[in-house]
Amino acid sequence: MIIYPAIDIKAGRCVRLYQGQMDKVTVFSEYPVEAAKRWEAAGAKYIHIVDLDATVAGELKNMFVLEQIVKSVNIPIQFGGGVRGMFAAKRLFDIGVSRVVVGTALIKNPAMLAEACAVYPGKIAVGLDVKNGHIAIKGWQEETDINAVEMINELEKLGVSRIIYTDILVDGTMQGPNIKGIKSIAQKTNIPLIASGGISNLKDIKKIKKLKDLGIEGIIIGRALYSGAFTLEEAIKVVDDNVG
């Protein structure tokens, strides 16, 4: 199981949001590149980056910062935010991003998602951002009436390589992950799942680790790491197969 330290970029800075609300921002670093280097030095095997400005604008916004991060670390980058067309996906892979996360296009442009999965096999993930059981899009600002679980079959047909499941109502709150939601998605698909949202302590990580046999491949952690609730080294140790 992989721990993905998260770097959310807004106006060039490393921030965290509360429940995805753009007006509830905590700035953790003016220098996202330094944050990435820090996570790499602490043992990260992968970094998860989101361009928050892009999620709302629908186009890539913080490319300079992203490029600097890619050049500064030697571990793969998983990136999401504003990927609504093939041109954006190509730009990201061209600068060295390893995996691209598509969210809004799942609903608004499924043909693009299908094409991306075909052109970049094994490199396209879907961000399943869920609020009250329904998928939210456009940087979580627009809630649809589409049930998240009902989309699973479609994702398997498309050839999506990973599902990143985020419960918006617990994201950034440090109130604990939605274990029930994670489990319900994982049980209905063979696509590897990455869980995100609400991690507050090492016990939360242990709870998700117990679901590993359901296909939970990784955990994205943001605020808990930045606030010092625990270290990345401690989190990685918990998911190590030799640790209970």
Hey, which residues are catalytic here? 8, 129
Strand residues in the chain grouped as ranges (E): 2-10, 13-18, 21-29, 47-51, 77-80, 99-102, 124-131, 134-137, 142-147, 162-167, 193-196, 216-221
Is residue 180 within 8 Å of 156, Cβ to Cβ?
no
Is residue 186 within 8 Å of 212, Cβ to Cβ?
no
Nearest to 101 by CA among 160, 44, 143, 57: 160
- Distance between CA atoms of residues 39 and 75, nearest Å: 10
